[in-house]
Amino acid sequence: MNENTANADAPVDLDGDGDLDAMMGDVLAQFSGPTARPDAAAVWRALSEVGLGRLTAPEATGGSGAGWAEAAALLRLAAAAGVAVPFAETDLVVGPLRRAAGLDDSSPGTATLAVLGPHGHARRVAWAGSTDTILCVRRVGAVDGAARHEVAEVGTDRAGISAADGTSAVSLGDVTPPADATWTPVDAAHVEAAVLRGALARAVQSVGAAEGMLDAAIAHSTGRNQFGRALATFQSVQNLVVDIAAETVLARAAVDQAVADALATDLRGPLSAFRVAVARSVVSQAVAVTVRNVHQVHGAIGTTHEHPLHRLTLPALQWRGEFGSAAFWEGLLAGVAVAGGMDGAWPMVVDGVGVDGAAAAWLDRVTGA
């Protein structure tokens, strides 16, 4: 093992607190099920009342001071329950970037991130128009080849927002900050860290949704009869459910590796970007299979708006393209594989390899650098 990876590869306990997980489940259960109506603001209030809203923020700023293990548990449970709430954006992406820039991070409200393109607009921002504030990021040139960025947090009511078509019930919008926004310089490394956190959060959420799809497929196939016997007794249905289970377990393993890295290194280790890229690649494949199969198991009823299945499948499809598409992350992995040649292929599989500039490459694409 390379000594530079020793800390990241040290055993990390990903087992959450059972009582905390149970509390999370109880809160989310209020907003889950076929009769529940999506209400992200109500979900956020319920989470905040028990200290789960700003879960990983320092206690000094009004947070609970938890870590990635607890955050990943909440992300998975919410996604598996089909409960939409901008927790990842507020607590894992915007909060740390605020603190890095020296901005006030004591607000109990929700926030989302908008990375501006070359013309001063951010495209297809998740939760645009639905959060209390938007943290805008813009590139302002480079010094000695290193990108320079600035951030400005604006109230949603002050930003220009144009609705964009999305896959799920989570609102998407194109964002334009107001002309009088106050901009603050922030180190590029902090912006890149926010991108990696967002990419990992989407992978965790996707695994949670896949776990929810597996539960839904099992419940439907064992509880529904066709031709006088349970659907689960048909081999073709069994094969569909088994494939969902296999893809979900594989994706969970890849994501857990990346979460363990986040716990050990705060995604600043030599293999952090590699592990996030692998997680995103494996999760993308898993989502494709689980969404297809769970809809085949459910049949026509699963395509109706009245059935809650869409609260699992549609967000997962949308998350695949946020903070980098599967093609983007797999392109990075392919690049380092080719660069390593035949001699580097097996070490890459066994030990991993550094993927330099992954988040910076995504930012360059978005900002038009």
Q: How many residues does the chain have?
A: 369
d(CA 367, CA 369): 6
Model confidence at 144, in pLDDT bands (50, 70, 90)?
confident
Mind listing the pLDDT tens digit for each residue in 31-89?
998 888 889 999 999 999 999 999 999 999 999 999 999 999 999 999 999 999 999 99
Q: Rounded mean pLDDT of 92-121?
A: 97
Domain ranges of the chain: 190-367
Per-residue DSSP letters for 210-242?
HHHHHHHHHHHHHH-EETTEEGGGSHHHHHHHH
What share of the chain has pLDDT > 70, as a percent? 96
CATH of range 190-367; options 1.20.140.10, 1.10.260.40, 3.10.310.30, 3.40.50.720: 1.20.140.10
Mind listing the pLDDT tens digit for each residue in 20-29?
999 999 999 9
Residue 5: pLDDT over 70: no
Taking all residues of the chain, what is their mean pLDDT, rounded to a whole number? Answer: 93
Alpha helices in 121-234 (DSSP H): 188-223
